[in-house]
Structure 1
Amino acid sequence: MPVAFVAQPARALIAGGLFLAAALGAAPAPGATSAERCAEVFEVATHGGSTTRYAFASAEPGDSPEATISLLLLPGGSGHLALDDSGCPHKLTANSLVRSLAAFAAEGFATALLDAPSDFQGEDGLGSFRTSAEHADDLGKVIASLRQRSGGKVWIVGTSRGSLSAANAAARLRGLAAPDGVVLTSLLMSGQTPAKKAWAAQTVFDLPLESIDQPLLLVGHVDDRCVRSPPGLMAQVAARTRSVRWQIVEVAGGSGDAGQVGLAACTGNSAHGFSGQDKEIATGITRFIRGGEYSER
């Protein structure tokens, strides 16, 4: 259940109670024809001759406004999902966004689950590339493809290390390549110092957050013991942006392993990964996207 939130529509503070072919013409990836596929696979041409795949599941036809809204989902970790030609991920399957695909579909939204580019599928995955301008440009190409495909808005949703990619896109992109809104969950706000690899210390504070003006939702867990995502810092992220509508939410409960601490707690089966709360989190996110607050009062 949500235990606290702070919302600021039009910068007026409200405090609450508890609480891949060409970007504009992506074609199905070769071989993505299985009748039992998880989703339709598309490829977008990205940086330096690379390609980037996403698994697209359209919304059920209907008259609801959300039927034309696509959610571009960016998982954490390496970002490499190893999507097969049927749109099924073979890695990062315990990630909260991967687990929540059905929950978002039940809310009436199309989803696009993004894999790492073809040249960033090694052990480190996206690594330091997540905060680069080139990565933001790649995400803009995917967003433009989705916008053409659905004919509607595109919201970008990033969790854990995926929050770096989502915030990067929201901060740097403009026009039709920019997301219409951004959701960051279990966002990385504290660097790992010392770190064996410099990019492991990257946080959202390393990005030009002042350029974010889209609606912004920040979701953390009060019991998140991952050293990288202390929920108490979310207010500092929101304060750096120029978003016309934002909300901070801290949730409680779930079935996360409370015994994990430090880097060991930065997993999908912990509070960091909102274990046992997929439907609850998806419902709150989609309520905000529709223009309301994460929680009903």
Structure 2
Amino acid sequence: MKRMLPILALLVLAAAPEMAAAQAPCGRLETLAAAEGGPYRVSVGEPEGRPAAVLILLPGGGGFADLDDRGCPRALTGNSLIRSVPAFRTAGMATALVDAPAAYQGGEGLGGFRIEPGHAAALGGLVPVLRQRYSVPVWIVGTSRGAISAANAASRLDGDAAPDGVVLTSPVSAGGRGRLAWVAQSVFDLPLDRIRQPLLLVGHEADRCLRSPPASLATIAAAASGSARLQVVTVTGGPGSRFASAAVEACEGREPHGFAEQEAEVAAGIVRFVRGGRY
């Protein structure tokens, strides 16, 4: 049985009407109160008309998007999920881009906090607020190291705090040695067998990032076989890698790891799955 985690409050920073136009391209900045790590900034944006679902977006790397007061990211702008925000909204999805909390905005960003129950609890505080606000399903979408955070939430949360579905793209599935212990963390540090929601796994055939080998998608799927609806997708094509061999640079967003020049294709597939179909 999953352990119920506390639901936390979402505090809306109301914008003056004259600021709405300036904020529209990025999102409305809101603050998520959290018991651990301090408050999270969240950039919430809506499509034209009523959204079909809300996508909570968790970027990779350190997770620190450095959102400004208009909800615009000043960092991680090459991340695949951040690049895909306009495509998600055009397809009828509301988006909630989550920044790293106050205590994790240094050079390491979220680091090892991604696998902690307190991180899952904070995300669990956001889910019911968005579900009640829009009266639609709320999904968590994480890419690269952000997939660790998404798997943490999907596997630990229960009740109203649990997301309605989860999407992991280029998930970090292989750890590594280094001066920082958390570098060894991956989605396999979470109880994937507890995931019961629909689960979409997306990787790229040409991903040369050592932390996200596309062959591991099948292993993740096997570990999360209790999912109500599961699909594994391996994307092909695109411009390929700029690097001759696997390296740290191959884990960047504008590589196959981040579905470079294929954002529209991947976003469309995610939306189809969220709507109940196949990628």
Match of 1:284 in 2: 269
* TM-score between both structures, scaled by the size of structure 2: 0.92
Counterpart amino acid of residue 41 in structure 1:
L
d(CA) in 1 for partners of 2:164, 2:119? 18
Counterpart amino acid of residue 226 in structure 1:
C
SS in 1 for 2:153: helix
Counterpart amino acid of residue 206 in structure 1:
D
d(CA) in 2 for partners of 1:133, 1:49? 12
Following superposition of structure 1 onto structure 2, how do residues 226-237 of structure 1 map, counting pairs within 5 Å? 226-237=209-220
Match of 1:99 in 2: 83
SS in 2 for 1:237: helix
Equivalenced residue count is 268
Match of 2:131 in 1: 147
Cα distance, 1:120 vs structure 2:
0.7
SS in 1 for 2:61: coil
SS in 2 for 1:26: strand
d(CA) in 2 for partners of 1:225, 1:256? 10
CA contact (8 A) 1:221 1:252 kept: yes
Counterpart amino acid of residue 59 in structure 1:
P
CA contact (8 A) 2:38 2:103 kept: yes
Instruction: Say which of 31, 45, 48 aligns to 1:43.
Output: 31
**Please, which runs of 5 or more residues in structure 2 have no aligned partner?**
1-6
Following superposition of structure 1 onto structure 2, how do residues 113-128 of structure 1 map, counting pairs within 5 Å? 113-128=97-112
Q: Does 1:262 align with 2:247?
A: yes
d(CA) in 2 for partners of 1:147, 1:277? 29
Match of 2:4 in 1: none
Q: Deviations over 1:89-109 (max 9, x none)?
A: 000000000000011011110
d(CA) in 2 for partners of 1:30, 1:48? 27
Instruction: Say which of 219, 234, 247 aligns to 2:202.
Output: 219
- After superposition, the CA RMSD in angstroms is 1.7
Match of 1:57 in 2: 45
d(CA) in 2 for partners of 1:278, 1:181? 20
Cα distance, 1:48 vs structure 2:
3.9
**Please, which runs of 5 or more residues in structure 1 have no aligned partner?**
1-21
d(CA) in 1 for partners of 2:145, 2:37? 25
SS in 1 for 2:126: helix
SS in 2 for 1:70: strand
CA contact (8 A) 1:29 1:85 kept: no
Cα distance, 1:71 vs structure 2:
0.2
Match of 1:203 in 2: 186
